[in-house]
A and B are shown apart, each in its own frame.
Chain A
Amino acid sequence: MYIVLNKDRMVIEKEQDVVPYRNRVKEFAVKIGMSLVNQTKLITAASELVRNMLKYANGGVTTIEVISKGRENGIRLVFADKGPGIADLNLAMKDGFSTGKSLGLGLPGAKRLSSEFDIQSTVGKGTTVTIIKWKNG
């Protein structure tokens, strides 16, 4: 269904990796000609998810892909960690719920900021979040 045009992989281990990662996502977004607003939305969502990964799972692996569906181009980001997993996904996706003293807007905010959002989590094994942001979406 989706054709992957370009792919990159980055390992996130420490807080200092967040900014380079965001810059890399931005490079990809600029390359496909995404508008500034959508770029910012994508980068913010990416930033939220990367921070989650660092905070709750001590890091993980992220993939940045340029994908295309029909005429539309977009960026797909995959965040895979081997952390403790999320016990209740519905609760985690609720605004203002946080187990870690933050605003509790990371996951739901990232969902609102991206065009497509998917989260898979197994307790004890880890969490994988996939988001897609279409160029004009």
Chain B
Amino acid sequence: MAFKKGHLFISIFVSRLRRGKDLLSGIFWGHPYSFTSASVVSLTSTASFHGTFKVVILVIKSLLPPAFRIENRGEINNYLYFYLVYIYRVLYVLKYPYIIIMKFEIAKSLQKKKKQILEAWVQNQLKDESLREDLMSNDELRKESEELLDSLLQSINNKNISDTDSAEFDSLNEIISGISITRARQGFSPKETGSYIFSLREALIETLHKDFKGDPIELLSSTIQIVKLVDNLAVVTFETFIKGREEVILRQTNEITEISTPVIRVWDGILALPIIGTLDSSRTQVVMENLLVEIVESGSSIAILDISGVPAVDSLVAQHLIKTVSATRLMGAECIISGIRPEIAQTVVHLGIDLSNIVTKATLASALRYAFTLLKLEVKKTTKSEL
């Protein structure tokens, strides 16, 4: 089976030559290693004993001379050229017999050399200038690195090596997220966490380098795979870091919304609610709830909504205001909107928002005065003699 595949490659190679393809790509096709590795692919999934047996057959077969027909004299040169490549291949396979079985051992060879990788990795980190000995002792660092490496080597196999989204990587991603979060809490910068993961890449590639010494093509392709793998892992740390930050921001936003809507009792029966910032749906909800609860608790009959601190009133804000006013009226209280600045008044008119059903005042003071008249209260200036 494997040999037939090899034949297929040879015939493709020859027909390429016939069709006048350049020789360089022909050389690539005829490269002894690309021939053998292509044939070995079909072996990767077989059981190990069976696989070893097949590999032995394959080695023998790959040493047999290529078989293809020469149809006319002009092809003699091609044949000679191919024969040279064949001799080269034989010599290559004799020199580095292990390249044939190397294909399905990237993951395995890494798994075997776990200790070596760990050592190299820890050394890399210790050498790094950004090492934070003040935040984490070397023992802790080694322990953390070992845990991560263990999980990494358990997760990888040849198929998933550059796809960290696959299910096998779930536990590894979890560990990395965990490390990223604890490190962020300890005061590491995201750059430091990132370079911690990146230093693993060097350790892995160094180890691979020793394995693939005689085979630059395979070294390159496995290096690319390792680089992709580690890059993906590093991206996970950044993502976690940013997610953590976003959570903090979200929490703070919620806190600000809560804090910034105080309901003030300005007088017996009069509530004031200064709104600062933008009114969006969630904020309106908070404002309305606080106001309605406070109306019931204090038994107030007048509420003043002050929008001096709202930078722009667009139709959404206006809609929210109208809703709040309607809800207050349902509770049996009157609602006054104050703090309408001249430019906002013009804008509201241009927008076409109808606020004529709502009592509006320019300042909080005039709103308060209006509230006093509604409650039949009077504020008087006293003369000195009365004191």
Contacts and interface: CB of A to CB of B under 8 A. Distances in A.
Interface of A: 15-16, 18-19, 22, 36-37, 39-41, 43-44, 47-48, 51, 95, 102-103, 105-106, 108-109, 112-113
A9 to B, nearest CB: 21
B352 A108 contact: yes
A113 B347 contact: yes
Contact of A103 (B312, B346, B353): B353
A22 B312 contact: yes
5 contacts: A41-B350, A44-B313, A47-B316, A48-B314, A109-B351
A37 B350 CA distance: 11
Contacts of A105: 315, 351-353
B153 interface: no
Interface residues of B, number: 20
A41 B351 CA distance: 9
Contacts of B313: 44
Given A19-B278, A95-B352, A103-B353, A109 B346 contact: no
B314 A51 contact: yes
Q: Give the interface SS of chain B, mostly helix, strand, loop or mixed.
A: helix
A107 to B, nearest CB: 10
For the complex of A and B, 4 pairs with smallest distance between CB atoms: A109-B351, A40-B343, A47-B314, A105-B315
A109 B343 contact: no
B262 interface: no
Contacts of B344: 40
Nearest to A105: B315
A69 to B, nearest CB: 22
B312 A40 contact: yes
Interface in B335-362: 342-344, 346-347, 350-353
Contacts of B195: none
Nearest to A19: B278
B284 to A, nearest CB: 13
A37 B344 CA distance: 8
A40 B248 CA distance: 32
B315 A103 contact: yes
Contacts of B352: 95, 105, 108-109, 112
Given A40-B346, A44-B347, A102 B311 contact: no
B151 interface: no
Interface in B266-302: 278, 280
Nearest to A22: B312
Contacts of B353: 103, 105, 109
B260 interface: no
Nearest to B349: A112
A51 B279 CA distance: 13
Contacts of B278: 18-19
Most buried by B among A40, A47, A51, A106: A40
Contacts of A112: 350-352
Contacts of B199: none
B219 interface: no
Contacts of B311: 22, 43
Nearest to A101: B319
A39 B316 contact: no
B386 to A, nearest CB: 45
B179 interface: no
A51 B253 CA distance: 20
A44 B316 contact: no
Interface string B123-143: 000000000000000000000
Given A36-B343, A39-B343, A109 B350 contact: yes
Most buried by A among B313, B318, B350, B353: B350
Nearest to B322: A103
Contact of A15 (B280, B318, B319): B280
Given A36-B343, A37-B342, A40-B343, A103 B318 contact: yes
A19 B315 CA distance: 15
A24 B111 CA distance: 54
Contacts of A19: 278
B347 A41 contact: yes
Nearest to B313: A44
Most buried by B among A19, A48, A102, A109: A109
Contacts of A41: 343, 346-347, 350
Contacts of A103: 315, 318-319, 353
B312 A106 contact: no
A19 B276 CA distance: 13
